[in-house]
Chain A
């Protein structure tokens, strides 16, 4: 049941409160609490004191009235007006709260009073004892504030009545002084509270402001700032988390820079390899294929000029041999460009052939185990990637590892192909990247794996060999490749 009126007010309030910075907020809370406490205590103490003092004044009024009545009885009966006057003056002197006192005779005529010259007009009739009552207290409103006026019968009224007026003026002054004191204490407490709050907010907001500054630096690309942990609280944890985050960002930035560099070199390498390959093919075509085709063209021209059928047949035979050789050269060239065995026989056979080639050419012991493939084919991209990864890894081993033995284990299960390639070579420190050549190869492996949603893990240590773990998801096993369906 939210009402739009209140919502609007809450929003307005939050617009103001929310815009204030956190220091002001905390100081506002402290100040508000201190003031609230101070005001509450002041009001409470004042109310209680007023109640108590009122009661006290009434009791005092009654007790003084009774005392005066008791002591004035004989003085009235023996008509000792001076003694009565002295009694009232003494009463006033000894009780500063007594504003006035007077005594009337049984006929309600004033005998003595403490007002000096004259008597307040309305006072005489303002209070009186009821018949039978010993005394009666009334609260009179006067121009000097409240007066607790007690009338006490003297000698059962036969000698008259004593009237005592007790004023709250001096107690009010005391009460005001006390209130002032409490308020002063509140102000002092507020000052101390604000000072403490200022220190507290400085403590609290300093790391926050530092975090803001550091975050802005990170935004500009400066990953250097680290913030000292200020306290073991949530902000300390935030600081630690921030420092860890900046560290991670810095590392990620370094890795990205490194990988960007590798990518550039890889692309350069790929381009230059492409160019080399083109040059080689061009040279091959020019040196070999184009020479033989030229000689074929010449031979065919000469053949047209020969009349002798036997010689023609012989020459034709020679030309066919040349054409066959040329065909063989072109075939070999094509084979070098892309091993058709991968397309024709599948990944396991292609790898086995390549491994066998490596064993023969580099005198390297290579253990090979391939499981889980059966007759199911993987997609061409995955097969090519795995083939090239194996090829690249073996090339690295041959070139950099100085290994005696290598092992390759490829397993397909649960929709994943796991490849482990190990050697007993010299190993390297994965954290260092001086071996740019090998790293470029590894970068290629990683790129190929990650392109297919897989990942590469490298474990290596100097003199302890190297292990590569490659995992590539291939989608269940249902993702089978049927070479006939491509129409290739």
Chain B
């Protein structure tokens, strides 16, 4: 019995002694400088997409296209997104990206300021044009812009044609300015958020890209029951694919050929389908003259 007592005692001592400290302790206070990122010798093709839709939506929609380009060019493709159209234009101007998908007014601004060049333009429903849609919540009693006086209005981007310039133009036609006409305005920075802001009743109205709207309703039919289109603008030049005026001509030619031939390539067709685009076509700058005229009108009234 004495021996059992000893065994018990030793057992207790062993049980009570602390377990050895684990070898893989992480030292949070020992800080090491982060490794400097090595510049890859393979230069990726940098593609920028203006924030027409949300960054996530953009990535989802454009990923097949990026993959296609990467595959065809046999080089990595990097998507560069920025919050505003202006930032994207700056990327083009500074040659920080090779090509960009920009908004109509952003193209006009870039073209007129530093010679941003058209590379191609998407064609949707047989036309390379789009409209600005004035939308209100489904429960709203408004039927035109005049009915939105004294309410809250959501703009998309400060230089968006369909989301800012055209509704400003409509207000100016009513003899007012957005600042005076609406109780309050705010920027959503992309068309997805503008539609959601109206659907959720945060804004009493917004103007959005018809392509984005149709795409959104197609993806989420319930949206059509939450918002109502009360006005459609005339057709304007569709948001194009642009390139820096000083880009290498070979690169420009290669990219143009690639985009224009996508529709005949099954892999390219799948990527186009994800964007809701039939094919890429060539457009002349004068396609954008109607939009350019409205921009000039708006800027004349409120520079």
Contact = CB atoms under 8 A, between A and B. Distances in A.
B59 interface: yes
A77 B81 contact: yes
B59 A143 contact: no
A401 B59 CA distance: 140
Nearest to B82: A78
A283 interface: no
Contacts, number: 80
A116 B31 contact: yes
A479 to B, nearest CB: 65
Interface stretch (B19-27, B177-185, B251-259): B19-27
Interface string B6-31: 00000000000000011011111111
Interface in B29-71: 29-34, 37, 51, 54-56, 58-59
Contact of B28 (A5, A80, A99, A109): A99
Interface stretch (A117-125, A225-233, A255-263, A429-437): A117-125
A401 B32 CA distance: 128
Contacts of A443: none
Range of interface residues on A (Cβ < 8 Å): 20 to 34
Contact of B34 (A6, A73, A119, A140): A119
Interface in A115-143: 115-123, 126, 140-143
B83 interface: yes
Contacts of B81: 77-79
B26 A117 contact: no
A434 B82 CA distance: 133
B28 A143 contact: yes
B1 interface: yes
A362 interface: no
B2 interface: yes
A41 interface: no
Contacts of A77: 55-56, 58-59, 81
Given A5-B1, A6-B1, A78-B51, A143 B83 contact: no
A158 interface: yes
Contacts of B22: 141
A110 interface: yes
Contacts of B29: 120, 143-144
Contacts of A80: 83
Contact of B26 (A3, A5, A78, A140): A140
A121 B33 CA distance: 9
A74 interface: yes
A158 B62 CA distance: 13
A122 B30 CA distance: 10
A158 to B, nearest CB: 7
Contacts of A142: 25-28
Nearest to A110: B34
Given A110-B34, A120-B26, 6 more contacts: A73-B55, A74-B56, A78-B82, A118-B31, A120-B27, A141-B21
Interface of B: 1-2, 21-22, 24-34, 37, 51, 54-56, 58-59, 80-83
5 contacts: A78-B81, A78-B82, A78-B83, A120-B30, A143-B26
Task: Enumerate the 5 nearest inter-chain pairs by beta-carbon distance, A residue then B residue, closest first.
Answer: A118-B31, A77-B55, A142-B26, A74-B55, A78-B81
